[in-house]
């Protein structure tokens, strides 16, 4: 008795399998398999087979919602087949215009894509918003390193000699001392710390130009002050150029009005031209020794003539 029931159950199961195979074959003949292009796989990684009954695959096969419902109804009649109404996995429905509507389960992917998009925008930001990458090819040997450190010390002496008549002059004097210290530390450093001291060196130079322009004008426009505070940590060279230009204009006006300053202004112009040429040459010809030390000396002469404006 039990043997006959087992045979009957086995034959029933075989019949159900044959019925399922016949219906799947009919479904295959009605909707032939569509090849999947690599672009489709990149756009929808969850796409596995044209016969997985989901919203995504019905789009690729061109199956409408009503047809998909008829197929589900047809397969539901097969013994042992159970169709899940909603897949537990996240899926994406691709619209005709290529935009994606993601399910609740795919919200983490949305946040991840947003972070990647923000990172990409930040990496493609303009050069003026990127940190400096100064030339660090100097100090090829011990002699050049020692000379660069020694030629940084005059800035400390110039900072000590600045007349401290008011608060702005005191700030400028202290910033010059900071320039000498930062430059000495940079040229004496090695390894990973070197790039940080390079940034500190450029930032202190920019700070000194800002303090000098403020000491000469007593007050700068609020917009210029806000822009200076924003760009100083990330683009100190640009800040130095702007405030050096302000100082040059003020120096030229004062020298035109006061004949006693004309000699100092002429020396300042020559030292500035020489210092600019040495600074560019140091970047173009990094193998040439002692160019950077020459720039130190020319810049020190230019700073010394600027101190005449504060007397």
pLDDT classification of 117: cutoffs 50, 70, 90: confident
Least confident of 3-17, 32-46, 73-87: 73-87
Least confident of 70-79, 205-214, 241-250: 70-79
pLDDT digits (tens, 9 = 90+) for 221-280: 888 889 999 999 999 989 999 999 999 999 999 999 999 999 999 999 999 999 999 989
Lookup result for tokens 């401290």: 164
Q: What's the mean pLDDT when you consider all of the chain?
A: 76
Q: What is the pTM of this model?
A: 0.58
State the Cα–Cα distance between residues 173 and 164, nearest whole angstrom: 7
What percent of the chain has a predicted confidence (pLDDT) above 70? Answer: 60
pLDDT classification of 115: cutoffs 50, 70, 90: confident
pLDDT classification of 125: cutoffs 50, 70, 90: low
pLDDT of 32: 56
Is the backbone of residue 41 left (phi > 0), alpha (psi -120 to 50) or beta?
A: alpha
State the Cα–Cα distance between residues 269 and 49, nearest whole angstrom: 76
Q: Which two tokens stand for residue 224?
A: 């210029």
pLDDT of 54: 43
pLDDT digits (tens, 9 = 90+) for 154-199: 999 999 999 998 999 999 999 999 999 999 999 999 888 898 999 9
At CB < 8 A and 24+ separation, what contacts does 284-287 make? 286/135, 286/137, 286/138, 287/137, 287/140
Q: Is the four-CA dihedral 285, 290, 294, 300 of positive or negative sign? A: positive
pLDDT of 310: 87
State the Cα–Cα distance between residues 48 and 202, nearest whole angstrom: 56
Q: Which helix (H) or strand (E) covers residue 146, if one does?
A: helix 142-150
142 burial level (CB within 10 Å; 0-12, 13-18, 19+) = exposed
Q: Which two tokens stand for residue 286?
A: 């990094």
Q: Domain residues of the chain, as ranges?
A: 2-123, 142-310
pLDDT at 216 over 60: yes
Q: How many CB atoms lie within 10 A of CB 107?
A: 11
pLDDT of 17: 61
């Amino acid at each position: 008795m039990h043997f006959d029931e087992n045979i009957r159950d086995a034959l029933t199961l075989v019949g159900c399998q044959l019925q399922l195979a016949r219906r799947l074959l009919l479904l295959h003949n009605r909707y032939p398999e569509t090849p999947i292009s690599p672009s489709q796989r990149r756009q929808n990684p969850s796409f596995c087979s044209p016969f997985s009954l989901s919203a995504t695959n019905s789009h690729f096969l061109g199956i409408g919602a009503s047809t998909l419902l008829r197929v589900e109804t047809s397969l539901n009649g097969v013994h042992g087949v159970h169709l899940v109404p909603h897949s537990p996995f996240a899926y994406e429905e691709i619209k005709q215009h290529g935009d994606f509507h993601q399910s609740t389960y795919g919200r983490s992917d949305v946040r991840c894509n947003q972070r990647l998009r923000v990172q990409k925008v930040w990496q493609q930001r303009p050069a003026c918003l990127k940190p400096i990458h100064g030339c660090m090819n100097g100090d090829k040997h011990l002699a050049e390193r020692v000379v660069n450190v020694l030629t940084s010390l005059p800035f400390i002496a110039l900072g000590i000699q600045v007349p401290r008549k008011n608060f702005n002059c005191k700030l400028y004097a202290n910033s010059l001392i900071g320039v000498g210290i930062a430059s000495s530390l940079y040229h004496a450093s090695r390894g990973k710390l070197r790039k940080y001291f390079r940034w500190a060196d450029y930032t202190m130079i920019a700070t000194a130009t800002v303090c000098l322009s403020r000491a000469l004008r007593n007050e700068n426009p609020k917009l210029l002050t806000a822009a200076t505070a924003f760009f100083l940590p990330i683009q100190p060279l640009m800040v130095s150029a702007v405030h050096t230009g302000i100082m040059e204009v003020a120096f030229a006006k004062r020298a035109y009005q006061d004949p006693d300053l004309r000699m100092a202004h002429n020396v300042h112009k020559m030292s500035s031209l020489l210092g600019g040429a040495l600074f560019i040459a140091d970047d173009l010809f990094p193998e040439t020794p002692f160019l950077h030390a020459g720039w130190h000396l020319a810049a020190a002469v230019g700073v010394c003539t600027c101190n005449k404006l504060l007397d």
